[in-house]
A and B are shown apart, each in its own frame.
Chain A
Amino acid sequence: MLNRSWIKLVSTSLILILLAACSTAPYRYEPLENYGIKQRAVTKQQGLIQVRASVPNKEEAEEILGFPIYQRGIQPVWLEITNNSPKRARFVHVSVDREYFSPLEVAYMHKKHFSKQGWMDMEKHLMDTAIPRQIAAGETESGFIYTHASDGTKSFNVDVFYSGSGDATYEEFTFFIAVPGFVPDHATVDWNSLYEKDSVRDLSNDELRDEMLKLPCCTTNREGTGQGQPVNIVLVADGLEVLQTLLRSGWSETTYEKDDNYLNSVNYLFERPPDAVFRKSRGKTTYTTERNELSLWLAPFRNDGVGVWIAQIKHAIGQRYKINEIFFGSAQDPDVDDGRNFLLQNLWYSQTLTAVAYSRSGVKVPMEKPMLDFNDNAFFTDGGRIVLWLSGEPVALQAVRNLWWDMPERVEMVTQ
């Protein structure tokens, strides 16, 4: 057991640290109206409910609230809900974030910035400016809900329950809100200059199936001299739909600075680095690694008028060798098929998938003789590729169609 004197020592030093951190500052904040938060709000109307939503960026939030809230991983979302139904409506906080932060919790987390009175003033202010759950008939309510911060475009739902003409019903709103100041990598691409307008071919499903055979097996390094990872995923959807389906499936945008360091370690396809990179990290576990990174290249062909993207998924399984590099210094899961299958299921469960096809058109690399890419990552694969047709509208899990191009390679049965 820990002895008492040790506990005393630790607690005394903690008290001293806390005392040192105590501030005498009063609570100050800037009025919301001084910023364009309401003006740039996105408005949606469904049934008898209207919702407006806006997300202040890091700097705006610090001024509006009076403390650096993003530093604690918290992002305020401003909502305005109008209830045009004849009865009371209820907004469901957990629909925006399953583990949202309560206003008084946010106040407690930031009390060290202020004097005792300042903290009390802040508490009152946060309560007054929080979005309430209940919205009376014909009324409009607005305020903040405190969510877990995410990089880039903020995607969330707002569910409102109400009684329409008869039975109780609910509306589910989905928002994708750009946060000013964050410029995702895909926003810096000059899409029009990637291909000559006339050179982009439009392919039918059958032609797309044949085209799979002509795709390069793998990516390369910057110079085109080194072996990259297999190219094993194709997404069919236009740009905005790709962005929204990935956000709905829990992926975030990235902002890689395209300096030499980045370009020398990144995979190239069509003689260029990825047009967009998305990242999906695993929640906190005892053993944490960045779960996946998805790179996308716009293809020089379309499918029935819709955009086609060639994709590659990398699944980091641990840090390796290099210091001071977060992702590129990590070892990749050599089983690239597992990453491919993960993406299929991830999009499927996020109800963003309408159809899937399997194509045995890639290069087969047996597990016993793995290959190495130019970053010294080992990999093996059954040579299968998946083509995923995406939808902006939710698709029921059992409604996803398989086009049955090829049968997947059978893995030897394991008996326990």
Chain B
Amino acid sequence: MRVHQCLLAPFVVSALLFLAACASAPSSFPDLPEGDWRARSQSQQANGVEVAAAVPSAKESKELFGMALYKKGIQPVWLKITNNRSSSVTFLPVGLDPQYFSPLEVANTNLKEKDANDPTKVVDEFFLQQGIGALALEAGETRSGFIFSKLDEGTKAFNVDIIGVAGDDGIREFDTFTFFIPVPGLNIDHYSVNWRGLYSDDEWVDLEADQLIEIIEKMTCCVTDKKGKGSGDPLNLVVIGFPTDIYTAFIRAGWDETETVTRTSSLKTIASFMSGGEYRYSPVSGLYVFDRPQDVAFQKARENIHERNHLRLWMSRATFEGVPVFMGQISRDIGVRFTSKTITTHKIDPDVDETREYLLENLVYSQALEKFAYVGGVGEVSYDNPSGNLTGDPWFSDGYRIVLWVTSEPVAVDDVTFVDWRRPY
């Protein structure tokens, strides 16, 4: 749900009042998920096909299947597909997860405990019954059941792909239903942000392009510590979008949400740190802009906790064409090292522009970007004379910030527009 944009603005009164009225507090992120998993189901309809989807939490999955599936990295997704067309359609589970688990694979995750003398014990009727079964749905048929997918805690994002003849022309079409389903179990940081309360109504300001460029280029180069001191990682991102679009775009591009720091989450982080294993929702330390820590953090785990990308966003009080402007910072963790302050910290790739360009490509190839531009503001820092972040890691840069207009509607790779504000190359 988006808050009204410029449409309601009065035509008269002073310019300042106009600006104040034009911009308004952005909508909040979706509400905290709660209740029974079935009650959290979402449904969508297109071209005579209806798809309902729900995702049981870790606890609910354990109750349903009698096994702690989340601990095995498996997440059941419940689907109910109704074909109201006059011809058959086919559902393709690899669209939901290219490496989905088969029901009997899930049933046999405790294989070692099974009776080794009877190989037929691996056939488990209960799990087979829970699967969605055949992929084809006849005209008028409804089919429901589970697909077992790779675990994504926080918000589960997936596609349900249906292929079949939709119209009278006999031409087969592909319908993709995209779901974003919040799953309880993690304390995701953006649920606790009171977006509306970040700024008072008279603080919002909507800017023209040249005003925005000027303000961004005058913005502080870098993040600070809690006391507003020090000069840390460069603020090399500007993200333009409503919170919901940002969240959808980054999840679509494979980024994970982040847990707020709680006792459980720090224990989870320590365990994964020691083992080098994967804890994809690990809380990130607070870096400060606008006198507060980041409003939202996303991360992208690669092989292990030591190799991941971190991204932090702070909502500014500026809007551009009625859409909120966020300042941001991205870094690529390339390893771990010891520091005097925090015992260990993540070493970042000093080539922060490389990481910035990676993000651009990542969003474009996930069809999550509408437009992009460059502005200055970081200040050029050379490889031979690097700056240091708050934990003493060196970095260098061409001095440019990338401006990213993110979108929740998919945009084709060759439809992304370059807005010619500044040119780093």
Contacts and interface: CB of A to CB of B under 8 A. Distances in A.
On whether the two chains bind one another, the answer is: yes
Interface of A: 1-2, 7, 10-11, 14-15, 73, 88, 92-95, 98-99, 102-105, 108-109, 127, 133-134, 161, 168-170, 250, 282-287, 289, 291, 315, 317-321, 331, 333-335, 338-339, 341-342, 345-346, 348-349, 367, 370, 372, 376-378, 380, 397-398, 408, 410-416
Given A318-B109, A370-B120, A108 B94 contact: no
B179 to A, nearest CB: 17
A411 B133 contact: yes
Nearest to A106: B334
A285 B102 contact: no
B278 to A, nearest CB: 7
Given A333-B104, A377-B119, A415 B144 contact: yes
B365 A338 contact: no
Nearest to A73: B303
A377 B72 CA distance: 23
Contacts of A342: 94, 102
B358 A416 contact: no
Interface stretch (B73-81, B198-206, B235-243): B73-81
Contact of A102 (B109, B119, B349, B361): B349
5 contacts: A102-B332, A102-B334, A282-B99, A333-B102, A367-B128
Nearest to A401: B172
- Per DSSP, chain A at the interface is mixed
B173 A317 contact: no
B104 A317 contact: yes
Given A285-B150, A333-B105, 18 more contacts: A94-B362, A99-B302, A102-B355, A105-B332, A109-B335, A127-B351, A283-B150, A286-B278, A317-B102, A317-B111, A319-B111, A333-B104, A335-B103, A335-B128, A346-B98, A398-B171, A414-B131, A416-B80
Contacts of A102: 332, 334, 349, 351, 354-355, 358
Contacts, number: 176
B111 A320 contact: yes
Contacts of A284: 278, 303
A286 B151 CA distance: 9
B109 A170 contact: no
A133 B105 CA distance: 43
B112 interface: yes
Nearest to B100: A342
B252 interface: no
A95 B364 CA distance: 11
Contacts of A414: 129-133, 143-145
A344 to B, nearest CB: 9
B420 interface: no
A285 B111 CA distance: 17
B181 interface: no
B365 A95 contact: yes
Contacts of A367: 123, 125, 128
Interface string B341-376: 001100101110011011001101100000000000
A146 to B, nearest CB: 12
A331 B119 contact: yes
B400 to A, nearest CB: 13
Nearest to B73: A286
Nearest to B357: A133
B383 A127 contact: yes
B269 to A, nearest CB: 11
A249 B116 CA distance: 35
Contact of A291 (B99, B109, B365): B99
Contacts of B361: 92-95
Nearest to A317: B105
Nearest to B99: A282
B334 A105 contact: yes
Contact of B144 (A109, A283, A416): A416
B122 A317 contact: yes
A285 B106 CA distance: 13
Contacts of A339: 102
B272 to A, nearest CB: 11
B349 A318 contact: no
B163 A376 contact: no
Given A169-B414, A284-B303, A414-B129, A398 B163 contact: yes
Contacts of A413: 133, 141, 143
A105 B307 CA distance: 9
Chain B CB within 10 A, most for which of A88, A109, A133: A133
B145 A416 contact: yes
B134 interface: yes
